[in-house]
């Protein structure tokens, strides 16, 4: 199927099924139950799962395969967002031209930056990418927002206004759409105590996520991917074989930047606004955490890492004191207040602390990320099945 072997086909089908069935998977608890706090099946969060999954998949092609750690990938995310919003302002709210321009501009931008940064490797490469990203942030925040040449609108952010040209808008809707189908269109399916939301914007992001995963899968299994792995293992030895590794690393850098541009374009398609904050070093650090947390160099790792971080970021930040009081209401007043005071620093505004602790636990006990944890669980289950089968086989003759 699609030039994939049996194992990869199974993996690809699993990704498709989990992505398309996300509204059901992310809403395991009834709407009116206390555990509904942990549901994540609403459009905005599911869109973020898909968009940051694409961002992390692209980053993994560079970092996971070649070992080149970039601290500046948020620059391509921001450039993609700005390009998409400009397309909305000049042409129409149709997302396809905007996404195409976002990927194209990110490719050109990453080619220019990669050509300079890839002259160095290791920590020097990482610092160079960080420097370019911070310069991009500074330009978007101030330099390119002066009245005579306002490309980014500074700290306010670039957005679409009623007096923008939109020369191809015609009678189209005043919201981002795909040939008239608005991204915000949502259908709610009530099944008993559950309410499942199906949003057009999410499914468009999901389609791009599936496509991004398939391209990544083909790259991993291609001779090009094999050379990228060789670069990560020992680039010097590869160069001694007569292979010039630089074009391959530059290609990986550009492909990774195009993924980031696609993610930025989709962010603008869901919410037609682009701000300089998307280019900050913290956004670059976030995609690094996603990839390492899920499992760098693995196929599923970036998606799992993106989902893990975005899920817990959303859930923990929503838990306030009133929620904690309801959780511990069955206890006596003094005891419930004591437990609320203990848990309070780890939720709400303190969700970063909890996420940091979870990240430390995963890195300490699962250096290979969440994928390694899944592999360990699967191998133990298989060993139990084999042991059970061996025992039953051994007792058959005696019986």
The whole-number pLDDT of residue 385 equals 66
**Is residue 137 within 8 Å of residue 75, measured between CB atoms?**
yes
396 has pLDDT over 50: no
Round to whole Å and give the CA distance between 277 and 266.
16
Task: Please say whether the dihedral angle defined by the alpha carbons of residues 26, 28, 33 and 35, taken in this order, is positive or negative.
Answer: negative
- Region 352-358: what's the mean pLDDT? 87
Round to whole Å and give the CA distance between 268 and 95.
9
Q: How confident is the model at residue 58 (pLDDT cuts 50, 70, 90)?
A: very high
The whole-number pLDDT of residue 334 equals 83
Mean pLDDT of the chain: 88
The residue among 388 and 114 whose pLDDT is bigger is 114
CB-based burial, 175-207: b 16+ in 10 Å, e otherwise: ebbbeeebbeeeeeeeeeebbbbbbbbbbbbbe
Round to whole Å and give the CA distance between 340 and 133.
41
What angle do helix axes 74-90 and 246-270 make, rounded to 10 degrees?
50
Q: How confident is the model at residue 395 (pLDDT cuts 50, 70, 90)?
A: very low
pLDDT (tens digit per residue) in 288-346: 999 999 999 999 999 999 999 999 888 888 888 888 888 888 888 788 888 888 988 88
SS3 assignment for 377-389: HHHHHHHHHHHHH
What angle do helix axes 200-221 and 246-270 make, rounded to 10 degrees?
170
Supply the pTM of this predicted model: 0.92
pLDDT (tens digit per residue) in 204-252: 999 999 999 999 999 999 999 999 999 999 888 888 888 899 999 999 9
**Phi, psi (degrees; rounded to nearest 5) at 208:** -65, -35
The whole-number pLDDT of residue 1 equals 57
pLDDT (tens digit per residue) in 244-289: 999 999 999 999 999 999 999 999 999 999 988 888 888 898 999 9
Quick one: CA torsion of 64, 66, 72, 78, rounded to 10 degrees? -70
By three-state DSSP, how is residue 362 classified?
A: helix
Q: Which helix (H) or strand (E) holds 106?
A: helix 95-117
Round to whole Å and give the CA distance between 68 and 390.
46
For the chain, what's the residue count? Answer: 399
The Cα-based distances of 68 to 71, 107, 108, 302 in angstroms read: 10, 18, 19, 16
User: What is the number of other CB atoms lying within 10 angstroms of the CB of residue 5?
Assistant: 10
């Amino acid at each position: 199927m699609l030039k994939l072997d049996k194992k990869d086909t199974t993996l690809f089908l699993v990704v498709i099924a989990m992505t398309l069935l996300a509204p059901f998977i992310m809403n395991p608890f009834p709407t009116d139950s206390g555990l509904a706090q942990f549901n994540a099946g609403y459009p905005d969060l599911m869109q973020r799962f898909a968009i940051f999954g694409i961002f992390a998949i692209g980053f993994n092609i560079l970092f996971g395969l070649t070992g080149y750690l970039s601290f500046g990938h948020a620059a391509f995310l921001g450039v993609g967002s700005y390009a998409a919003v400009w397309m909305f302002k000049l042409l129409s709210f149709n997302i396809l031209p905007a996404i195409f321009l976002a990927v194209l501009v990110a490719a050109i931008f990453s080619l220019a930056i990669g050509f300079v940064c890839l002259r160095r490797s290791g920590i020097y490469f990482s610092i160079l990418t960080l420097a370019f990203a911070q310069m991009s942030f500074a330009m978007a925040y101030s330099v390119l927002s002066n009245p005579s040449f306002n490309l980014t609108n500074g700290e306010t952010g670039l957005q679409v206004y009623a007096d923008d040209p939109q020369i191809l808008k015609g009678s189209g809707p005043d919201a981002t759409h795909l040939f008239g189908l608005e991204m915000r269109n949502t259908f709610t399916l009530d099944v008993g105590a559950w309410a499942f939301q199906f949003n057009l914007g999410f499914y468009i992001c999901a389609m791009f996520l599936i496509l991004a995963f398939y391209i990544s899968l083909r790259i991993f299994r291609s001779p090009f991917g094999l050379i990228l792995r060789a670069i990560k293992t020992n680039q010097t030895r590869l160069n001694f074989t007569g292979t010039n590794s630089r074009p391959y690393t530059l290609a990986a850098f550009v492909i990774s930047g195009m993924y980031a541009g696609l993610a930025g374009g989709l962010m603008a398609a869901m919410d037609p606004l682009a701000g300089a904050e998307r280019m900050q070093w913290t956004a670059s650090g976030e995609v690094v955490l996603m990839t390492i947390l899920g499992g760098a160099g693995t196929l599923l790792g970036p998606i799992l890492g993106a989902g893990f971080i975005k899920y817990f970021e959303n859930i923990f930040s929503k838990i306030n004191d009133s929620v904690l009081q309801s959780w511990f209401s069955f206890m006596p007043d003094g005891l419930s207040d004591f437990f609320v005071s203990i848990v309070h620093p780890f939720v709400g505004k303190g969700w970063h602390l909890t996420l940091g602790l979870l990240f430390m636990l995963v890195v300490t006990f699962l250096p290979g990320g969440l994928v390694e944890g899944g592999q360990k669980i699967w191998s133990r289950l298989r060993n139990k099945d084999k042991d059970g089968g061996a025992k039953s086989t051994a007792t058959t003759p005696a019986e």
